[in-house]
Chains A and B, each alone.
Chain A
Amino acid sequence: MSKIIEGLKYSESHEWVKVEGSVAVIGVSDFAQKEMGDITYVDLPDVDDEVTAGEEFGALESVKASSDLIAPVSGTVVAVNGDLEDAPEKVNEDAFGSWIIKVEMSDPSELDNLLDAAAYRALIGE
C-alpha cells in the first residue's frame, strides 16, 4: 500500500503539490516511485523556466524507462532540488520528503483542478 499524505494536492499523473503561499512545492507520489522502480536520474528544469499545467517539465529515469514529469500548475520555477542530481535514490527512499521543484504560481485557481488525498487514493485503487 502506497503512502498518501492528507492535505496535499495530487495530479492524475502522480505529482503531489504542497502549497506554501503563492509557491507550489512539487514532487512525485510514493505510488509513482514504486511504479518506476529504482530511479537512476531526475531530469530537472532550470530556475526561471516557465512551466505550464499539463505539460512536461522534466523526467524521472530508471534503467529501462523514462517517465515525464507533468506540471500540476503553471508558473515560474523558483527553485530546483539539486540534491537529486547526485542522489536520485532519495525519491525512492522518501517520495514526499524529496521535493523536485518549487513554482511561483501564475494562476493559483489551477489548484482546484487537482485531486485531494481521498480522490487520489481512489485513482490509484488503494
Chain B
Amino acid sequence: MLVRIGVKKLDDLYSDVPKEFLHKGAYALPDALSEQEVRTYFEALDRLNARMKVFVGAGAYDHYTPAVIPYITQRSEFLTAYTPYQCEISQGTLRYIFEYQSMICELTGMDVSNASLYDGPTAAAEAMKMAVACAKKRTRVLLSRSLLPHILKVVETYAKFHGVELGYIPAPEGQTSLDGLQAGLATGDVAGVIVPEINRYGIVEDHSGFADAVHAAKALLIEYCDPSALAVIKSPSEWGADIAVGDAQSLGLPLCYGGPYIGFMAVKKEYMRKMPGRIVGQTVDQEGRRAFVLTLQAREQHIKREKATSNICSNESLMALWVTIYLSLTGPEGLREVNRLSSDGAHYLYAELLKTGRFEEVFPGKPFLKEFVLKPKEFPGFMQQRLEKAGLFAALDTEEGYVSFCVTEKRTKEEIDQLVHIVKEG
C-alpha cells in the first residue's frame, strides 16, 4: 500500500503536518485491554452503582421495556446504519421513521411530526425558537412555572444565547394560571407560550381557555406532554395547541442515567416548514412502488446553513425505532392499561402515605396519574436514607420543599407496602 502511495513509511503520511504539532512520547492513557478484561472492568464498575426500585419520575420514568425492543433494535442493519442518505438501501430506517411520525401524530393529534430531537427539554427549546421564527418580529416567549426544572433550565440556556426574552406564568395552585397567562400576553410582543399538560407536581393541568387567549395575541401555544399519558388525557390538539413537544422516554426507554432519550415535536400543518429536524415522506420509485425519502430538506442546515430552522443533524433515530416498536406492542389498549396500573398504584401510595401521618397534602383534590408531591411534616433526609438502605429510590426533594413520588406499572403492591412501612416506622 505504501508503495502505491509513494511513501516509505507510515509517518511520511503526516509530512504535511508541522513537526512541532506531531505528538511526541506516549499518550497518558491506560494500557490496552483485551475484550475479556474490558468486560470484567465494566462489570466491576457496574456493581458500584446502586440497584434501586425507582419511585421517582420528574422527567425520567421507569416503565417496562418489552423484550422484543432491544432484540430488534440491536439488529445491525438498524444499529450500524448512518442517516438514510441513500434511500434505495435505507428503506428500513425510512419506513420506521414514517411509522414513528404517524404514531406521534396519533398520540398528539397534530398534523406533522419530525423524525425526533435529542430529548424533551431541547425539544421545548426548539419549539421556543420556532415560535419566534414564525412570529417574525416578536421575540418573547412565556414559560409556565409549573414546567419541570430541567426543562426550564435548558430553555433558559437556549433563550439567553439565541436572544429570546422569557416571561413566566405563575402556577400558584399547582396549575398554570389562566389569569397569569392573560397578564403575560397583555405585556405584548409574545411569540409563544409553553405549558405542561402534566406538570412538575404530577398534576394533569386544565388548559381550558388557553388556546383562545394565546391565539388572540397571535402567539403559538406549545404543549409539553408525556406521550405515555396521551393515551388517556386530552391531546395537545384537543387543547388547541400549535406545537406539541416532550420526551418519549416514557414509551419504554430505559432510565440509563438520563440518556439516550428522545425528544419529539409535532405541529399543525401550516408550521411544518418552520419545523426543525428531519422529516420522512412517502413517494414512489421509478417503477411505481411505494418508497420513502427524507423530504422538505430545504429547511435544514445542510442547505440553508445559517438561515436553517435549526442546527440539528444527527437526532435519536434508533430511539424512534424503540418507541415505534413499543407502541406497536402496546397498541391503544395496552398503553391505556399502563396508565391505569400506574395511576392505581400511585393513588394507593398517595393514600397510604397520608395515613402514616407524616405528610400533608399540597394540592388536595387536584387530578394526577402516576406522579404526585406531598409536604413532609419533618425533615425528610432521614427517611430518604432509610428508604435508600432498603433499595428504594423515592421521596425526591423538590425546590419548593415538597417530596415527589412516582409509581409506574413496574412497582408492585409489595414494594409500595414496603415503602409505606419504612415511612411509618420513621
Contact = CB atoms under 8 A, between A and B. Distances in A.
Direct A–B contact present (CB less than 8 angstroms): yes
Interface residues of A, number: 10
A66 B303 CA distance: 7
A61 B303 CA distance: 10
B304 interface: yes
A41 interface: yes
A83 B307 CA distance: 25
A66 B304 contact: yes
A66 B301 CA distance: 11
Nearest to B293: A63
Nearest to A46: B136
A59 B273 CA distance: 12
Contacts of B273: 41, 43
A2 interface: no
B354 interface: no
Nearest to B295: A63
B298 interface: yes
Contacts, number: 17
A62 B299 CA distance: 11
A66 B273 CA distance: 12
Interface string B303-347: 110010000000000000000000000000000000000000000
Contacts of A41: 273, 298
Contacts of A98: none
Nearest to A66: B298
Interface in B230-276: 273
Contacts of A59: 298
Nearest to A65: B303
Interface string A61-87: 111111000000000000000000000
B90 interface: no
Nearest to B304: A66
Contacts of B303: 64-66
A40 interface: yes
A80 to B, nearest CB: 15
Contacts of A61: 298
A122 B303 CA distance: 29
Nearest to B303: A66
A59 to B, nearest CB: 8
A59 B308 CA distance: 12
Contacts of A65: 298, 303
A64 B304 CA distance: 10
A81 B297 CA distance: 23
Contacts of A63: 297-298
Nearest to A63: B297
A66 to B, nearest CB: 4
Interface in B15-35: none
Most buried by B among A40, A62, A63, A64: A63
Nearest to A68: B307
A94 B303 CA distance: 26
Contacts of B297: 63-64
A43 B134 CA distance: 13
Most buried by A among B273, B298, B303: B298
A41 B303 CA distance: 14
A121 B194 CA distance: 52
A91 to B, nearest CB: 15
B200 to A, nearest CB: 38
Interface in A73-112: none
A65 B303 CA distance: 6
A62 B297 CA distance: 9
Contacts of B307: 66
A62 B303 CA distance: 10
A45 to B, nearest CB: 10
Contacts of A43: 273
A62 B273 CA distance: 13
11 contacts: A41-B273, A41-B298, A43-B273, A62-B298, A63-B297, A63-B298, A64-B297, A64-B303, A65-B303, A66-B303, A66-B304
Interface of B: 273, 297-298, 303-304, 307
Given A41-B273, A65-B298, 8 more contacts: A61-B298, A62-B298, A63-B298, A64-B303, A65-B303, A66-B298, A66-B303, A66-B307
What 8 pairs across the A-B complex have the smallest Cβ distances? A61-B298, A66-B298, A66-B303, A66-B304, A65-B303, A64-B303, A41-B298, A63-B297
